[in-house]
Amino acid sequence: MTAEPTYRGFALDAQTALALLQWQAELGADEPCLDDPIDRYDLPDRAEAPAATASAAPTQPTPRAADPAVDHAALAETLAAGASTLAELAAAQEAFEPIEIRRGARNFCFADGRAGARVMVIGEAPGEEEDQQGRPFVGRAGQLLDRMFAAIGLARDAVDAERGLYITNVLPWRPPGNRRPEPGEIAVMLPFLRRHVELAQPELLVLMGNTPCIAALNQQGILRLRGQWTQAFDLPTLPMTHPAYLLRTPLAKREAWADLLSIAARLDTRAAP
Domain CATH for 111: 3.40.470.10
In a domain, 16, yes or no: no
Task: Judge contact between 125 and 173, C-beta under 8 A.
Answer: yes
What is the domain count for the chain? 1
pLDDT at residue 269, rounded to an integer: 73
SS3 230: strand
47 vs 110, residue with greater confidence? 110
In a domain, 14, yes or no: no
In a domain, 27, yes or no: no
CA–CA gap between residue 138 and residue 133 (Å, rounded):
8
Range of the domain at 214: 72-271
In a domain, 67, yes or no: no
Reported pTM: 0.74
Task: Judge contact between 119 and 267, C-beta under 8 A.
Answer: yes
In a domain, 137, yes or no: yes
In a domain, 243, yes or no: yes
pLDDT at residue 119, rounded to an integer: 98
pLDDT tens-place string over residues 45-96: 544 444 444 444 444 444 444 444 348 999 999 999 999 999 999 999 999 9
The 3-state secondary structure of 36-97 reads CCCCHHHCCCCCCCCCCCCCCCCCCCCCCCCCCCCCHHHHHHHHHHCCCCHHHHHHHHHCCC
Q: How far is residue 191 from each of residues 31, 33, 65, 199, 214, measured CA to CA in Å? A: 31, 36, 17, 12, 14
CA–CA gap between residue 261 and residue 154 (Å, rounded):
12
CA–CA gap between residue 8 and residue 35 (Å, rounded):
9
In a domain, 38, yes or no: no
What band does 257 get if pLDDT is binned at 50, 70 and 90? very high
In a domain, 7, yes or no: no
Enumerate residues 6+ apart whose C-beta is below 8 A from 147. Answer: none
- Per the DSSP assignment, residues forming a β-bridge with 207 are 122, 239
pLDDT tens-place string over residues 119-135: 999 999 999 999 999 99
